[in-house]
Amino acid sequence: MNVVEQLRLFMEPRSVALIGVPRATNTGVNTLEFMLEYGYDGRIYPVNPSADSILGHKAYPAVQEIPNPVDLAVISVPRQLVPEVVQGCVEKGIKAVVVVSQGFADADQQGKALQERVVAIAKAGGARVIGPNSMGTINAFKHFSCAFVHLDVPKQVFPVGFAAQSGLVINLGLLGSQYGDYRFLGKAFDLGNTCDVDFADVLEYFEADPQVEVIALHMEGIQDGRRFLEVARRVTRKKPVVVIKAGRTEQGGKAVASHTGAMVGQDEVYQAAFDEAGIIRVKDLEELEDIVKVFFTAPLPKGNRVGMVTLVGGIGVMAVDACADLGLEMPELSPQVKNRLGPSFPDWFPPANPVDVWPASYARPFREVNRDALEALMEDPGIDSLVAITWVPRPPRFEIFDSSEDMLAVAQKYPQKPLICFCYGPAKKVGILQIESSRQIAAYPSIERALRAVAALWRYSRYRQREPGQEPGLPVNQARGQAVVSVASRLGRPRLDAEGFDLLAAYGIESPPSRIAGGEEEAAAAARAVGFPVVLKVLSPQITHKSDAGGVRLGIGAEDELRRAYREMIETIAKKAPGAEVEGVLVQRMASGGQEVILGIKRDSQFGPVAIFGAGGLYAEVMKDVAFGICPLTRERAWEMVRSTRVYHMLKGLREAPKDLEAIVEALLRLSQLAVDLPQVKELDINPMLALEKGCVAVDVRVVIG
């Protein structure tokens, strides 16, 4: 069985064993009761040794006693009994198991060990496990769910596949319309602790599922980031994936550990992975609902240019603010649109974008003017998406203001452009429901949320428009890099010293000329060779923080100064780091000018090697001006990383000459290659890297190996 076939057993089982289902009903927490109410049409086998039958279904003392084949087992017994029960399932030949019970990796060491046993038993028996700490699955197309509470089950079915790490997030997650009595749900998995079935599996399943058009994820942590990324890259080329990642903050990460026991990597790395895979990230459940909804109603826009029609100038102003925040453009109206709409407007109020139709509605009936404006913008090739700001009056009194029918007609007439709606006014709830029921227009209760949906559509559309990037083939000297690292490894050094520059050189990253010198005379000769001014850095395996030990001297302009500095340095170190063995000094030409940036690589627990680019010095950290990318980088992704920072605007040249951005990108790609080639390099930071008008040079480098 492939993954799709395996997961289909969880979603469309022909028969289900409910192991540990309670005898008591009408408590609100009985799976069998809810399954019957919801209308599941397969076979149900309650397993409970203390009951003969439950709700008219014969109960069995153990799963092995069920006389017929079973597709899915749902286990809700005390945690210590779970491994034994899973063993029983395996013996019965069951290939799909949901563990509802809590108290595993989400709890304590004992729970963690129990979870590991469950996984081992299932793996040996060829079964897949969802959970523990899971509410199971919902398939609204089949009226199937194995949740143990009575969910507010969808009355309508939507082409949405959802996977979460919290049962009640499933219940509450896609709340459905802000006002409607439905939820945007088709199929949902509660993955709980994700001990086995994980987000990558679910993506593959939804990818192959013709009933699912949009995929939504509520994620606390991933086990195998690389596999997730690989699958997600493929799936997002076909279907939009929207994710909410909980545990974004340091505090939230700790909370995740005690909720699902998931490993939480660095949030910036998750962000990088989402960016690379074209996954739309949202911040909270309200946004998740807003964005999922727009993806199954609207076509993808070709660009970011928004046209808007409003009855209220004040809302128009706030809409313009929101567009600026979201990277959307509000272009001027084209001459064609101006000419078409102009005659209805007073002289002192020519039509502009947003089109404020109020002043024109004195001359012509409001609905006519409004519809005319919508159609003019739909036909304008300079507009990619349309937003209608719609007052929904309370009928029948003010039907002259009710434009909902017109909007639906316009959306049908021009199906190639998104029409998004912000509804307000006395009957907005009715209006939103009516408009949304068409499944052609997504309606929102605030202009900011409407525009946020347009921005998400555009972001995804832009991703789909781009070809996947290629990894560049770079001429690097991997053998020499490997040799540098191996020598240090053999010597048992945890970090590289002056050899760090050799490693960079092997990968074609320049640094200022430097020489190692053993004494004062050699240092003077070295300085003459590299050229003044120079810097002097002590080389000693015992000295990690050179500056603190007095082992760095900057801006040495002449030989006498150098000699003095050398002697002073040796004296100071003898006092400050008495045990340190001084192997020599590095004499390096002092680089200056340019813009300081940081380049680096590190290993992430979920995603493996990642590359880092940011503002230099402490600015990357303090200003949070840093971008991450999963290695190996494509050239396109390296450019994206650089462009996503604010220091990029300084590099482009605000008051000064622009810096060599090509060289920075090239260096980033070379570091990425290094990270892939040399797994012994655990961390590497070039700080600062000086971006010059031509080229860039690594002034200092820190390399951790292991």
Binding residue for its own copies, selected from 2, 110, 544, 680, defined by CB under 8 A: 110
Q: Toward its own copies, which CB reaches closer, 323 or 686?
A: 323
Task: Report DSSP letters for 522-559, one per residue.
Answer: HHHHHHHHH-SSEEEEEE-TT-S-TTTTT-EEEEE-SH
Least Cβ distance, residue 536 to its own copies (angstroms): 17
The number of beta carbons lying within 10 Å of the beta carbon of residue 249 is 10
Q: Rule CB under 8 A: is residue 401 a binding residue for its own copies?
A: yes
Each residue of 284-296: b (16+ CB within 10 Å) or e?
A: ebebbbbbbbbbb
Cα separation, 579 vs 604, whole angstroms: 35
Nearest one of 485, 507, 483 to 497, comparing CA atoms:
485
Binding residue for its own copies, selected from 16, 19, 60, 79, defined by CB under 8 A: 79
Task: Report DSSP letters for 107-148, one per residue.
Answer: T-HHHHHHHHHHHHHHHHHT-EEE-SS--EEEETTTTEE--S
SS3 content of the chain, % helix, strand, coil (to 5): 40, 20, 40
Q: Which stretch binds its own copies (CB under 8 A): 60-68, 388-396, 408-416, 513-521?
A: 388-396
Each residue of 357-374: b (16+ CB within 10 Å) or e?
A: bebbbeeeebbebbbbbb
Task: Report DSSP letters for 427-496, one per residue.
Answer: THHHHHHHHHHTTS-EEESSHHHHHHHHHHHHHHHHHHHSPPP--------HHHHHHHHHHHHHTT-SEE
The structure tokens listed for 55 are: 């709700």
Binders of its own copies among 620-639, rule CB under 8 A?
Answer: 621-625
Least Cβ distance, residue 528 to its own copies (angstroms): 19
Each residue 406-445 as x (binds its own copies by CB under 8 A) or -, in order, gives: ------------------xxx------------------x
Nearest one of 225, 196, 222, 73 to 123, comparing CA atoms:
196
Least Cβ distance, residue 257 to its own copies (angstroms): 10
Binders of its own copies among 469-488, rule CB under 8 A?
Answer: none
Q: Toward its own copies, which CB reaches closer, 337 or 516?
A: 337
Binders of its own copies among 88-107, rule CB under 8 A?
Answer: 102-103, 106-107
Q: Toward its own copies, which CB reaches closer, 2 or 27?
A: 27
Q: Which stretch binds its own copies (CB under 8 A): 42-50, 315-323, 520-528, 684-692?
A: 315-323
Q: Rule CB under 8 A: is residue 291 a binding residue for its own copies?
A: no
Binding residue for its own copies, selected from 117, 234, 248, 643, defined by CB under 8 A: 248
Q: Quick check: 418 and 301 in contact, CB under 8 A?
A: yes
Q: Rule CB under 8 A: is residue 295 a binding residue for its own copies?
A: no
Q: Toward its own copies, which CB reaches closer, 180 or 469?
A: 180
Q: Toward its own copies, which CB reaches closer, 429 or 635?
A: 429
Q: Rule CB under 8 A: is residue 312 a binding residue for its own copies?
A: yes
Binding residue for its own copies, selected from 42, 125, 252, 342, defined by CB under 8 A: 252
Binders of its own copies among 596-625, rule CB under 8 A?
Answer: 615, 618-619, 621-625
Each residue 558-577 as x (binds its own copies by CB under 8 A) or -, in order, gives: --------------------
- Please measure the distance between the N-terminal and C-terminal CA atoms of the chain and give it in whole angstroms: 40
Least Cβ distance, residue 24 to its own copies (angstroms): 12
Least Cβ distance, residue 621 to its own copies (angstroms): 7
Q: Rule CB under 8 A: is residue 39 a binding residue for its own copies?
A: no
Q: Rule CB under 8 A: is residue 30 a binding residue for its own copies?
A: no
Q: Rule CB under 8 A: is residue 335 a binding residue for its own copies?
A: no
Return the C-alpha torsion angle 52, 57, 61, 64, nearest 10: 150
Return the C-alpha torsion angle 255, 256, 257, 261, nearest 10: 150
Q: Toward its own copies, which CB reaches closer, 451 or 674?
A: 451
Q: Toward its own copies, which CB reaches closer, 87 or 171?
A: 171
Compute how many residues bind its own copies; rule: CB under 8 A: 93
Cα separation, 65 vs 52, whole angstroms: 13
Q: Rule CB under 8 A: is residue 324 a binding residue for its own copies?
A: yes
Binders of its own copies among 124-183, rule CB under 8 A?
Answer: 150, 152, 164-169, 171-172, 175, 178-179
Q: Which stretch binds its own copies (CB under 8 A): 53-61, 310-318, 565-573, 635-643?
A: 310-318
Q: Toward its own copies, which CB reaches closer, 123 or 646?
A: 646
Binders of its own copies among 351-370, rule CB under 8 A?
Answer: 352, 359
Binding residue for its own copies, selected from 95, 305, 417, 449, defined by CB under 8 A: 449
Cα separation, 216 vs 280, whole angstroms: 9
Neighbour order of strands in the sheet with 15-19 = 43-47, 15-19, 72-75, 96-99, 128-130
Least Cβ distance, residue 532 to its own copies (angstroms): 11
Using H for helix, E for strand and C for coil, what is the string for 203-247? Answer: HHHHHCCCCCCEEEEEECCCCCHHHHHHHHHHHCCCCCEEEEECC
Least Cβ distance, residue 259 to its own copies (angstroms): 4
Binding residue for its own copies, selected from 14, 58, 238, 283, defined by CB under 8 A: 283
Binding residue for its own copies, selected from 488, 586, 647, 665, defined by CB under 8 A: 647
Q: Quick check: 566 and 536 in contact, CB under 8 A?
A: yes
Binding residue for its own copies, selected from 321, 521, 560, 581, defined by CB under 8 A: 321
Q: Toward its own copies, which CB reaches closer, 1 or 618?
A: 618
The structure tokens listed for 335 are: 């001459």
Please state the φ and ψ torsions of residue 9, each to the nearest 5 degrees: -65, -30
Distances (CA, A) of 373 to 353, 386, 688: 10, 10, 54
Q: Rule CB under 8 A: is residue 28 a binding residue for its own copies?
A: yes
Cα separation, 120 vs 135, whole angstroms: 22
Q: Rule CB under 8 A: is residue 497 a binding residue for its own copies?
A: no
Q: Rule CB under 8 A: is residue 544 a binding residue for its own copies?
A: no
Longest dimension (CA), the chain: 100
Please state the φ and ψ torsions of residue 657, each to the nearest 5 degrees: -65, 145
